[in-house]
Amino acid sequence: MLFDKPFWFKAIVARALRRVVAWGFVPLQEATTHLETATGMRKTPLNAVHRASGAKMVPFGGWDMPVEYSGLISEHMAVRKAAGLFDVSHMGEFEVEGPGALAFLQRVTTNNVARLVDGQVQYSAFPMPNGAPVDDVTVFRRAADRYLVVVNAGNIEKDFRWLQEQGPTGCDLRNVSDDYALLALQGPRAQGILQPLTSLDVPALRYYHFAETQVDGRAVTISRTGYTGEDGFEIFVAPADGEALWKRLLEAGADKGLVPVGLGARDTLRLEARMCLYGQDMDETTTLVEAGLGWIVSTDEAKGDYPGRALLAEQKKSGPPRKLVGFEVTGRGIARHGYPVLAQDERVGEVTSGTYAPFLQKNIGLCYVPASRAALGTELAIDIRERKVSARIVPTPFYKRPDKAAPAPAATATI
């Protein structure tokens, strides 16, 4: 290893290029090499398509996934200005069905599931008694007694075990992760690309709602959700239909600037939008309120008790001892996951996520700091390989998309 590598780096060392010491976005993974990806890695239904297209592949959460196709920056910009298509089939899906489904989900999540109507999605988390998440998840209400929960790829087994331990009563809990391919179509032109392929009235589908319909004759669930900070859709489809749908969407969007996008740009897009990545920005040691996710912590009386509720309610009321804040590097250098963060020469935390932000053309990141040091404008320093580089706490999200109501940019724009 070339740099003094602290435990948190868990770097992937590319054997093909010994000098590459860190792929900053791959958490919770033992050091491995690009060349070992073919063995022992799980593959999505689209794996062969990615490889045939020449995508650069990396291991991610036990999966062999495309990190980039044409280039990270151009993919990132395509999603901001036109549209991008992501294979996120590695995400996990659980079904919770039966008369006790709602009561069970209320017991194991932080957000109030009773507020959902049929066809609505809710961002939530599985909490532990210490107020930290086992995982962050989305809950889809198909019917009053039928729910789909989407979980992070690296946490599928852990989450399923956790839910089983919580004792699902009056409902069936099933891991149906292998029943779906999941494509994310994201960007300002996503709606225009999708509409001609479906009878669904796409503009009528509201943010964080979903519909069961067809795209190009294939049964799908379309959800107006994403992880990019742009308008867009996540499309669940049978694994056998995944490849055909992928190709059909790319074909339909080719003249609108749609390109395939890898996990590399997925990470930079979500970070510009200040969306947390489980395993980096939050884990089993950070409470949801500390992570800035108090808005998914319900203290409604009707919600009932769940692990960590009293602690989280207290932190919401009185403030948490530390906070996840966004910073901009004002000196020269790129902050990376795990780099120490200092305030007035005192070490106060470490970078949880950090990157060059392709749209903003700045170096940005997130870190936990004591609440007393979390004010906007606070000057910090990032220890970048033993060099102190100045940074400042800034408002987040770093990037906010232009008003949805604004007319789309002229179709002549080239990406």
Partner 1 sequence: MDPSDLKYTKDHEWVRVEGDKGTVGITDYAQKQLGDVVYVELPEKGRKLSEHDSFGTVESVKAVSELFSPVTGEVVETNTALVASPEAINADPYGKAWMIKVRLSDPKALAALMDAAAYGKFVASEAK
Tell me which residues touch partner 1 (CB under 8 A): 2-3, 14-25, 35, 56, 67-68, 71-73, 264, 267-268, 333-334, 336, 355-356, 358, 385
Question: Rounded CA gap, 381 and 409, in Å?
Answer: 39
**Strand duo 63-68 + 56-60: pairing:** antiparallel
CB 268 to partner 1: min, Å:
6
| Structure tokens, 379 | 């000057």
CB 176 to partner 1: min, Å:
32
| Structure tokens, 4 | 């003094």
Radius of gyration (Cα) for the chain, nearest Å? Answer: 21
φ, ψ at 175 (rounded to 5°): -85, 105
Name the residue nearer to partner 1 (CB basis): 15 or 400: 15
Contact 229, 272 (CB under 8 A): yes
CB 207 to partner 1: min, Å:
28
Name the residue nearer to partner 1 (CB basis): 35 or 48: 35
CB 376 to partner 1: min, Å:
26
Question: Rounded CA gap, 66 and 21, in Å?
Answer: 19
**Angle, alpha carbons 20-262-385 (nearest 5°):** 30
Query: 91: closest CA among 13, 183, 201?
Result: 183
Which residues are CB-neighbours of 386 under 8 A, at least 6 positions away?
A: none
Name the residue nearer to partner 1 (CB basis): 323 or 336: 336
Contact 141, 113 (CB under 8 A): yes
Q: Is 100 helix (H, G, I), strand (E, B) or coil?
A: coil
Q: Left (φ > 0), alpha (ψ -120 to 50) or beta: where does 65 sit?
A: beta
Q: How far is CA 149 from the centre of its chain?
A: 14
CB 34 to partner 1: min, Å:
9
- 161-172: b (≥16 Cβ within 10 Å) or e: ebbeebebeebe
CB 146 to partner 1: min, Å:
39
CB 69 to partner 1: min, Å:
11
Q: Could you write out the DSSP letters of every residue in 232-254?
A: EEEEEE-HHHHHHHHHHHHHHHG
Name the residue nearer to partner 1 (CB basis): 63 or 104: 63
Name the residue nearer to partner 1 (CB basis): 25 or 104: 25
CB 384 to partner 1: min, Å:
9
Instruction: Give the Å distances, CA to CA, from 363 to 68, 129, 384, 391.
Output: 20, 35, 12, 9
Name the residue nearer to partner 1 (CB basis): 18 or 206: 18
Per the listing, tokens 């400042």 go with 392
CB 177 to partner 1: min, Å:
26
Name the residue nearer to partner 1 (CB basis): 73 or 371: 73
CB 328 to partner 1: min, Å:
15
Name the residue nearer to partner 1 (CB basis): 54 or 402: 54
Name the residue nearer to partner 1 (CB basis): 67 or 184: 67
**Strand duo 387-394 + 322-329: pairing:** antiparallel
Name the residue nearer to partner 1 (CB basis): 15 or 161: 15
